[in-house]
Amino acid sequence: MEIQVFHTEGESGSAFERINYPLKEATCTGQSVLDILTDLVNTATGSWVRVRKILEAVGDKRLSDRVGEFFQGYVRHHLYCSRYKLGMVCAESGNQELLRFHQMSLDVVGGSETE
């Protein structure tokens, strides 16, 4: 389910076309897109917390570090990759705080969106 936050069902000209999971789910359930995205974020972060607890119980720091690097890389990939249109969503939203946050995120991971 977390992957679907970033996935679109085909390429489109606008990040606001209703071809992604959060927008479809909001339409079908009557929930707001914000509520859908919040649920997805909670699911993803909850999964990460559970994985960390399991790894702590195992006690293998090397494995724990490696899994942490994987999760970090997964998020970085989606921030970088213009296919997921996060930059376009931020820009078209007109929300300056969101746009600044996205740019800050790109700066933190070391670059700009790429194809």
- Distance CA(93)–CA(113), nearest Å, equals 17
pTM of the model: 0.55
Half-sphere exposure of 71 (CA within 13 A, CB side): 15
> By percentage, how much of the chain surpasses pLDDT 90?
20
**pLDDT, position 112:** 64
Instruction: Give residue-wise pLDDT tens across range 54-90.
Output: 999 999 999 999 998 888 888 777 777 777 777 777 7
The percent of the chain in helix, strand and coil, each rounded to the nearest 5, is: 75, 5, 25
Domain residue ranges of the chain, discontinuous segments joined by +: 3-109
